[in-house]
Amino acid sequence: MPAALDGARVVAALERGRSVAEAVCLARDLVNQPGGSLTPTAFATRAEELAALRHFDIEVLDLDAITDEKLGGLLGVNRGSSEEPRFVRLAWDPPAGTKSRGTVALVGKGITFDSGGLSLKTADSMIGMKGDMAGAAAVLATFSALDAVQPPVAVRGYLPLTDNMPGGDATRVGDVLRIRNGKTVEVLNTDAEGRLVLADALSLASEDEPDAIVDLATLTGACMVALGLKVAGLMGNDEAFLDQVRAAADAEDEPVWPLPLPDDMRRQIDSEVADMKNVAGARWGGALIAGVFLQEFVGDDVPWAHIDIAGPADAAEDDVETRKGGTGFGVRTLLRLLGDFRRPRSR
């Protein structure tokens, strides 16, 4: 191999590594920002700045547009806040002439601060809730590196952004919300809000008929109880696609562990007044219940993976490769997955 060609490949690899590292640092910085300054509108503005700089498309929906789109989960969570919600849609396409392997949708939970709403958290439990938007941060950071990494797939992003506050008109326990896909949800715990905003985002992503969907969310403390602080939970509806996600995570040393979505758990979220309720009556299997809930908002024929990053999204102390605070978990996995993606089913 000519030395010049070999050198060019080294330079390209170094540039790719730099871009991925910058994306991880971006996600960390976003997670570390206080919820009082990184409001939904501030997050959306940062996304617009990155879109102009890193060459991807963006659409930001304000309160009126969110209402027009019938995003009832996002609107319901936002009712107690003085900060308006935003919904951010992102798009990136590979360069002309690239043989595309399909379209992958990335969904990120974007709760910029989580007080628990009227189901108010304790003071200790509220610490760290500025990072409840780590899923959205990981997706936005991934988009920031796409033009440099150039995976052979079209990528779409869906970021529901709001804080969850106990204001005077906050969603009450027992209220019923209608999600984008028409299904209704009885809210029995306003602190189980992430699944409500993700329901709208997954519905929108499914409508766009991608070849696969991945969502990332700091969703349940139950997943941390099950897997600890450094391993994410992996659930979904298509084993072949889950294998791809796990292979990408393993390659990037961002550990995930597969968890089941048992069909018989669905009846635990049956509601007497709506299509479902947002929590089960018992405390057991909380991470799985959340996954079963989310599955209701994914199209039947769309391969989908849910990654619960509640544990590894934030580090309680300095570690080998991360400092205390946001870790940027999931960015490397997503970029590897997009680069290696194969359609898990014929469409």
pLDDT digits (tens, 9 = 90+) for 203-248: 999 999 999 999 999 999 999 999 999 999 999 999 999 999 999 9
Mind listing the pLDDT tens digit for each residue in 79-111? 999 999 999 999 999 998 889 999 999 999 999
Q: Tell me, yes or no, whether 346 lies in a domain.
A: no
Fill in the amino acid letter for 122: T
Mind listing the pLDDT tens digit for each residue in 176-211? 999 999 999 999 999 999 999 999 999 999 999 999
Mind listing the pLDDT tens digit for each residue in 131-158? 999 999 999 999 999 999 999 999 999 9
Angle separating helix axes 40-54 and 134-149, nearest 10 degrees: 10
Q: What is the pLDDT of residue 75?
A: 98
**Known catalytic membership, residue 130:** no
Task: Give percent of the chain with pLDDT exceeding 90.
Answer: 89
Average pLDDT, the chain: 96
Question: From residue 9, how far is each of 1, 15, 21, 338 by CA, in Å?
Answer: 11, 10, 18, 20
222-244: burial string, b at 16+ Cβ within 10 Å, e else = bbbebbeeebbbbbbbbeebbeb
Q: What is the pLDDT of residue 217?
A: 98
Domain extent, residue 21, equals: 3-340
Tokens of 127: 């610490």
Q: Which of 63, 70, 67 is nearest to 84 (CA)?
A: 63
Neighbours of 283 (CB within 10 A): 9
Question: From residue 198, how far is each of 108, 223, 250 by CA, in Å?
Answer: 8, 17, 25
Q: Which of 121, 178, 183, 266 is catalytic?
A: 121
Q: What is the pLDDT of residue 346?
A: 45
CATH code at position 316? 3.40.630.10
Q: What is the pLDDT of residue 63?
A: 98
Decide: pTM greater than 0.95: yes
Q: Is the pLDDT of residue 321 over 90?
A: no
Q: Is the pLDDT of residue 5 over 80?
A: no
Alpha carbons 188 and 214: distance in angstroms, whole number: 26
Mind listing the pLDDT tens digit for each residue in 39-50? 999 999 999 999
Q: Tell me, yes or no, whether 234 lies in a domain.
A: yes
**Known catalytic membership, residue 109:** no
Number of structural domains found in the chain:
1
Q: Which of 28, 156, 195, 246 is catalytic?
A: 195
Q: Tell me, yes or no, whether 54 lies in a domain.
A: yes
Q: Tell me, yes or no, whether 206 lies in a domain.
A: yes
Q: Which of 119, 100, 300 is nearest to 213 (CA)?
A: 300
Q: Give the containing element (helix H, strand E) for 215.
A: strand 212-217
Beta-bridge partners for 13 = none
Q: Tell me, yes or no, whether 347 lies in a domain.
A: no
Q: Tell me, yes or no, whether 172 lies in a domain.
A: yes
Task: Give percent of the chain with pLDDT exceeding 70.
Answer: 97
